[in-house]
Homo-oligomer: A and B are copies of this chain.
């Protein structure tokens, strides 16, 4: 019941969208929220900073930095564009973290590899250039542009019986990385952002975010080390689609009715509860888990995960080219 209640709001894990929704169409910036946008040809970057508890409450995201890259062009599968996205992602990651020459990094792939739209984390981990064991066991094979990197996809609660946070806490205490990067699938409120938007946040993963079921956060408080979250929307909840459609219709009607008329009163009865009841009927049971995706989301996700993996590799192993990385990996 509690879960259903939670779903019956427009769900988004993108700070950019939370801010838009909080602004309610106004162009005035929110107190406690600083936004900076820049377009590099076909890569649009939005940097949202939540600077105060006030901002935090307004957009429902903890104080910190949220960088979004909008890269719709990756649908065209142009290797040159993909390379530019990976490089830009690396640059934005470096903007949020502060690595020493000998800093060590742990990459965590969150989510369930058996469920396509939840498999982003494990798929990105598959593309990571893992080097920590080379530093430990064959140090003479280390290229001095590498940093020691480890990577794990711990699975989800239903598979392991253990909260992801516990597995990662245990591991972090053992290997003591200087930085954790957690990769996860996100929910967006706009279908056109599926597979085409990347969010980086220096606040880590916090309870309730992400499309999977991860109660314990992964962040500096729980892990004791700086924790970057990288996510990509893979779904829009069906509820979101339904509500957006209805609200748009009501809005159109509202523009054309006389103030004080019977009709106005009627339309005003169409409050959120009422709308939710309609959507419930359309979606029927199980509505909380119904998601909208492109039919070929499996293939789309493979592309994006490779691009993100490369971005992370470039950010950590300074000076390595994508060609070096591919040679190491494949």
- Whether a CB of chain B sits under 8 angstroms from the CB of A94 is no
In the complex, what residues of B have CB within 8 A of residue A292's CB?
238, 241, 283, 290-292
Interface flag for A207 (CB, 8 Å): no
Output the nearest chain B residue to A249 by Cβ-Cβ distance. B246
Interchain CB contact (< 8 A) of A151 among B160, B171, B286, B326 = B160
A22 is an interface residue with CB less than 8 A from chain B = no
Instruction: Pick the residue among B79, B235, B281, B289 that contacts A327 (CB under 8 A).
Output: B79
Per-position 1/0 for A200-226, Cβ under 8 A of B = 000000000001000000000000000
- Which A residues between 234 and 291 are near B, CB-CB below 8 angstroms? 235, 238, 241-246, 248-250, 252-253, 256-258, 261-263, 266-267, 270, 275, 278-279, 281-287, 289-291
CA distance A62 to B43 in the complex (A): 49
Q: Return the contact of A266 from the options B250, B256, B326 (Cβ within 8 A).
A: B256
* Bound CA–CA A289/B155 (angstroms): 30
User: CB-defined interface of A294-321 with B at 8 Å, one 1/0 digit per residue?
Assistant: 1111110001000000000000000000
**Distance, CA A257 to CA B269, complexed state (A):** 13
Task: State which of B115, B159, B267 has its C-beta within 8 Å of the C-beta of A253.
Answer: B267
Query: How near does chain B come to A14, taking the closest CB pair, in angstroms?
Result: 15
Q: Interface of chain A, helix or strand or loop or mixed?
A: helix
CB distance from A12 to the nearest CB of B (A): 15
A149 within 8 A of B: yes
* Contact sample, A vs B, 5 pairs, CB 8 Å cutoff: A115-B296, A245-B282, A263-B263, A290-B292, A290-B295
Task: State the CA gap A4–B250 with chains docked (Å).
Answer: 26
Smallest CB–CB gap between A23 and chain B, Å?
A: 19
Instruction: Give Cα A28 to B280, complex, Å.
Output: 28
CA distance A283 to B292 in the complex (A): 10
State whether the Cβ of A35 lies closer than 8 Å to any Cβ in chain B. Answer: no
Evaluate whether A285 and B160 lie within 8 angstroms (CB atoms) in the complex, with A79-B327, A116-B116, A290-B293 already known: no
How many of chain A's residues touch chain B, expressed as a range?
A: 35 or more
Nearest Cβ in chain B — how far from A134, in angstroms?
Answer: 8
- CB nearest neighbor in B for A126: B159
Which residues of B sit under 8 angstroms from A131, Cβ to Cβ?
A: 161
Q: Which residues of B contact A293 (CB under 8 A)?
A: 290-291, 293
Cβ of A84 under 8 Å from chain B: no
Render A166-181 as a binary contact track against B, CB cut-off 8 A, 1 for contact: 1101111111000000
How many angstroms from the CA of A269 to the CA of B159 in the assembled complex?
52
Partner of A261, one of B137, B150, B263: B263
Question: Contacts A132-B161, A161-B133, A296-B289 hold; do A252 and B238 have CB atoms under 8 A apart?
Answer: no
Q: Closest approach, in angstroms, between the C-beta of A73 and any C-beta of chain B?
A: 13
Residue of B nearest to A153 (CB): B155
- One of B160, B246, B261, B290 near A130 (C-beta < 8 A): B160
